Structure 1
Amino acid sequence: MEQTPKANRVHIGFFGRCNAGKSTLINMLTDQPVSLVSDVAGTTTDPVSKSMEILPLGPVVISDTAGIDDTTELGVLRMEKTEEVVKKINLAVYVLRTDEEPTSDDMHWLGLLKQNNVPIALFINEINDINEINVENKEKVELNTANTDKVELNTADKEKLESNTSAYIKSHKGLSDLATVIGSADFTSNTKRIELLDLLGGLTPLDVEGEQTLLQGLVEEGDAIILVCPIDSAAPKGRLILPQVQTIREILDYKGLALVCQTEELPSMINSLTHPPKMVICDSQAFDRVDELTPHTIPLTSFSILMARFKGKLQDLVAGVNAIKNLKPGSKVLISEGCTHRRQCDDIGTVKIPNLLKKQGHTDLQLEFTSGGAFPKDVSQYDLIIHCGACMLTRREVLRRIECAVVQGTPIVNYGVLIAALHGILERAISPFIDEIKG
């Protein structure tokens, strides 16, 4: 519980050409050997991600990407992977070298980041200039990413580097139009490391949760919240799933009372309380039974609906419910999950939801499934998208997927909204948020 979930961290992507110095910069900024560094071009192939704490940024996920000028046979596939990173990150660091002119590839990727509204920190690698200074001073410097403060340049040397970087930026005016901040990346200076971290810390990340919480506006000090967490064959052994853990933690943060039980124990828990609970939150798969067991004077919703409110646009997901009644034999439905896990015999996405649709008379549907980072660019072919609660995805990625569906005119719902609608209890399940949805 003490660790920030990966999906709630600020995601920072590092971009640039092969041997621009991305991996070395990551190791310098993090003060750890996160990325493999080599003079061999193309050392970084697929994106490499690492969760960590970096002050003043706090909890982050660092993603090192392949060089954008990768000309190997797998280069096209690697660029597709890099493009996926662009769509998920909250901040971008782009690395150029003072001894290399910006190419059309550089401008393309900087433009793509700008097009996606990602704040860009452009760091100019001065390594060639530093080597020239060292040659002039007849000093041989061994660049060691585990000991980045070996070299302390004198004032004259620092002024020379700043002058070279300034001249580089002025000679390529288009860079200033694309980047949010620009800094010179002297990998040998610990002082420069702090300066670059401050530049990153001054940026406003795109589409992060920020101060918003799962239970914002729903819980106050002293409120009792009952969480119904069924333990079935799909439940992980020895632990709760992430949305349940996050909800418990937030109740405690609000100084509320988190009461946890399984479905059939709900009535006895309610009866044991002196005052009715403020709310009951259940696993969506138990919606119908929990609805029967919970007096209608007590608000009821699900973890999945809370996640939909927290991560994306609940009103769009609720609006997608109207498409359910229009499904007919042959309709194409995409069922998408944000995580990748081993399928159980009663898996919710591939088994329970399809069976629930059949019980409601929606037979002979063309079902397709995606998981993890996979999500089609073209969703116009589908009559409906059914998405999970997205606890493992960043808010930016969830908003992108919802926008992708809305722009292409494809209705989208999430698991909790769909299941509540099919059981005829959607109005009750979204009643705690009805003002937000209408607004």
Structure 2
Amino acid sequence: MEQTPKANRVHIGFFGRCNAGKSTLINMLTGQPIALVSDVAGTTTDPVSKAMEILPLGPVVITDTAGVDDTSQLGPLRIGKTKDLLPRMNLAVYVLKTEAAPTKEDITWLSLLQQQKIATLLVLNEVGSVTGDAYMAANASVLERFALPYIGANLLNNAKQSTILNQLGAMRPKDQEEEHSLLAGLVEPQDVIVLVCPIDSAAPKGRLILPQVQMIREILDAHGMSLVVQTDEVASSLAKLGVTPKLVITDSQAFEAVAAQVPADIPLTSFSILMARFKGDLKTLAAGVKAVKNLKSGAKVLISEGCTHHRQCDDIGSVKIPRWLKQAGYENLDLQWTSGGAFPDDVRSFDLIIHCGACMLTRREVLRRLEVSQEQGVPIVNYGVLIASLHGILDRALSPFAAELQ
């Protein structure tokens, strides 16, 4: 669990007004002094995240945020940073002190969490003699419309620690990674899966990239067998196998070279396409590739990556994809790029969005980006689907998923 990638963890955000007790609650739940606690309003400025393991939740990322009523000079910027976090959160904990009724800021933020469809637990920081139950009864007219589960607790002790953790565990959302599988329906015991993992200048030194590692683990979990080879070893490896592999999975950048070596009767797809199926909605991304044919000179295209890595000399997003588009006849495109957590809320000015495999993003974040694109009528396609299309092997790359794409 200590090595679980952040994108595969449950992300829990702690929200509330300044001095509501967010940081105190985090420290109480984790049993560690993770968040800085002070009576001074605005102690937490930028969001602070920590990846850890909390039973019964397992691997999580917890994020402490600035007060939603921060009135300091930098308050609006801090609140903006907190709002940017919402699309990534699987769960939310909203903290209220029982000494005062909910304010307009509280109602605004509870409404935002509801709009974002984030499962939210209300923790009532019991101050003085006002219990959580009494607070809810006194403020029912304001809070009942949110229909939130709540727990009253004295945050200065850990008497309610297990109660809160168990409640959060019971609220696990359906859009987290462990509810899904990268190779769902594609691998069974004793199946042989060939993984083509190019080792070039872009490959990380001494290790494989995350999708490749995750694929190997899933094959092992299914009691299948994986054969890991480089691009120029595919044909010779297949000849030596003695059995027909169930599936060949390649890095999208090597699609053309690998397709030429794999017989037509052996299913072939890419890590990126499988990741798109795992993280988001493959049907939407497969449909989005049709928009490529309509790109005219000057068309505006957003190329979005989920990670923030150092650009290589032959980087896929900034170099290879633009080159392949140009080779396919799409010239003079207005290309723009985003990376990491950056993704515009308004994409209506774009004719097409090209997104990476999103191995570093949570499924919730990927689904949000797809939703933004669909609501604003902008087609979106994933790297693997686009590359397969530009190399003329899209039908073959999607054939393992024919039934679910109908």
TM-score (norm 1): 0.90
- For 2:171, give the aligned amino acid: L
Q: Give the aligned partner of residue 324 of structure 1.
A: 292
Q: Tell whether the 8 Å contact from 1:91 to 1:206 is kept in structure 2 after alignment.
A: no
**Unaligned 5+ runs, structure 1:** 130-159
Question: Alpha-carbon deviation of 1:165?
Answer: 2.3
Q: Give the aligned partner of residue 15 of structure 2.
A: 15
* Distance in 1 separating the partners of 2:36 and 2:320: 43
- For 1:18, give the aligned amino acid: C
Q: 1:250 aligns with which of 209, 218, 226?
A: 218
- For 1:404, give the aligned amino acid: V
- For 1:292, give the aligned amino acid: A
Q: 2:134 aligns with which of 167, 172, 180?
A: 167
Q: Give the aligned partner of residue 344 of structure 1.
A: 312
Q: Give the aligned partner of residue 83 of structure 1.
A: 83
**Unaligned 5+ runs, structure 2:** none
Matched, 1:314 2:278: no
Question: Pairwise mapping of residues 27-426 of structure 1 onto structure 2 (< 5 A)?
Answer: 27-126=27-126, 128-129=127-128, 164-173=131-140, 174-426=142-394
Per-residue CA shift, 1:106-159, capped at 9, x if unaligned? 000001101111111000111x31xxxxxxxxxxxxxxxxxxxxxxxxxxxxxx
Q: Stretches of 4+ moved more than 3 A in 1?
A: none
Question: Alpha-carbon deviation of 1:3?
Answer: 2.6
Q: Tell whether the 8 Å contact from 2:132 to 2:153 is kept in structure 1 after alignment.
A: no
Aligned positions, number: 405
* Distance in 2 separating the partners of 1:71 and 1:431: 56
**Higher gyration radius (CA):** 1
Structure 2 SS opposite 1:333: strand
Q: Tell whether the 8 Å contact from 1:122 to 1:179 is kept in structure 2 after alignment.
A: no
* Distance in 1 separating the partners of 2:147 and 2:29: 19
Per-residue CA shift, 1:371-391, capped at 9, x if unaligned? 000000000100000000000
Per-residue CA shift, 1:146-196, capped at 9, x if unaligned? xxxxxxxxxxxxxx65xx322211111122332531001212333311111
* Distance in 1 separating the partners of 2:351 and 2:326: 16
Structure 1 SS opposite 2:312: coil
Task: Give RMSD over aligned pairs.
Answer: 1.2
Q: Tell whether the 8 Å contact from 1:225 to 1:258 is kept in structure 2 after alignment.
A: yes
Per-residue CA shift, 1:45-98, capped at 9, x if unaligned? 111111111111111110111100111222222222111211111111000101
Per-residue CA shift, 1:177-218, capped at 9, x if unaligned? 325310012123333111111221221325112331100110
Among all aligned residue pairs of Structure 1 and Structure 2, give the percentage whose two residues are the same amino acid: 64
Q: Tell whether the 8 Å contact from 2:2 to 2:53 is kept in structure 1 after alignment.
A: no
Q: Which moved more, 1:67-76 or 1:250-259?
A: 67-76
Structure 2 SS opposite 1:190: coil
* Distance in 2 separating the partners of 1:330 and 1:74: 39
Per-residue CA shift, 1:279-323, capped at 9, x if unaligned? 100000000010001111100000000000000010000001111
* Distance in 1 separating the partners of 2:158 and 2:6: 28
